[in-house]
Amino acid sequence: MTIALTPAEWEALALSLKVAACSLALVFVPGIAAGWFLARRNFPGKVLVEALVHAPLVLPPVVMGYALLFTLGRHGFLSEALFDSDLRLAFTWKAAALASTVMGFPLMVRAVRLAIELVDLKLEQAAATLGASPWRVFRTVTLPLALPGVVTGSLLAFARSLGEFGATITFAGNLPGETRTLPLALFTELQAPGGEGPAMRLAVISIVISLAALVASELIARRIARRLGRSE
């Protein structure tokens, strides 16, 4: 087993990182917004919304993949309603990013929500009495104090994206260079005799990336903790 990666492995690696980065970008703002909403607002039907948000955590990923196909696939009902069936999304790398986004969303929401619930409401009240609008309170008090949760959520969503398989293969297919991310490449290798070696290499790459992401987030979280003046 050599260390140098083959072009196909580079391709899968680069694609995985691109898809993960995009899905993180997609999940970031809505994830924070939904986390805040669930942490700070009560409304009728909240339980239902919570269940819906967390559905991807408990449903088989393939089901989510089919759900995406039925909504945003070639003849999905949203595609037909909004794009006149002209939506060319499924089986592109954007579909892979979207599938990862959907799967990572609950992880982001959960982490952010827990972090925001830990932010003392009294500090937000104090900020309000000092003349800060709700938006400014969120930006300057809530969000900075919930930053560790945002980092954790982002990492989880990113990692989920790197490992996402079922929804991706269903909604985005397994197109080399387009949607064949690391796990799909790994699985593909195992479909033919003699694929064990390459599969092992891909597994090692996955492990290295995941560990790197974990270490990075840990370092960032520590920095933030120091900045927040909390003891570690």
Residues near another protein, by CB under 8 A? 69, 73-75, 88, 90-91, 120, 122-123, 125-134, 137, 140-141, 144-145, 169, 173-176, 184, 187-193, 195, 227-230
Torsion angle of C-alpha atoms 76, 19, 202, 209, degrees rounded to 10: -140
Which residue's CB is nearer to another protein, number 21 or number 190? 190
Backbone dihedral region for residue 177 (phi beyond 0: left; psi -120 to 50: alpha; all else: beta):
left
Which residue's CB is nearer to another protein, number 107 or number 189? 189
Which residue's CB is nearer to another protein, number 117 or number 195? 195
Provide, rounded to whole angstroms, the least separation between the CB of residue 23 and another protein. 21
Answer whether 101's CB lies under 8 Å from 31's CB: no
Provide, rounded to whole angstroms, the least separation between the CB of residue 51 and another protein. 27
Which residue's CB is nearer to another protein, number 53 or number 69? 69
Which residue's CB is nearer to another protein, number 28 or number 187? 187
> Residues 80-114, buried b or exposed e (16+ Cβ, 10 A)?
eeeeeeebebbbbbbbbbbbbbbbbbbbbbbbbbb
Provide, rounded to whole angstroms, the least separation between the CB of residue 50 and another protein. 23
Which residue's CB is nearer to another protein, number 46 or number 88? 88
Provide, rounded to whole angstroms, the least separation between the CB of residue 216 and another protein. 21
Answer whether 164's CB lies under 8 Å from 99's CB: yes
Provide, rounded to whole angstroms, the least separation between the CB of residue 87 and another protein. 11
Provide, rounded to whole angstroms, the least separation between the CB of residue 222 and another protein. 15
**Which residue type does 113 have?**
R
- Say which residues have a Cβ less than 8 Å from residue 18's Cβ, sequence separation at least 6: 93, 97
> Residues 138-177, buried b or exposed e (16+ Cβ, 10 A)?
beebbbebbbbbbbbbbbbbbbbbbbbbbbbbbbbbbeee
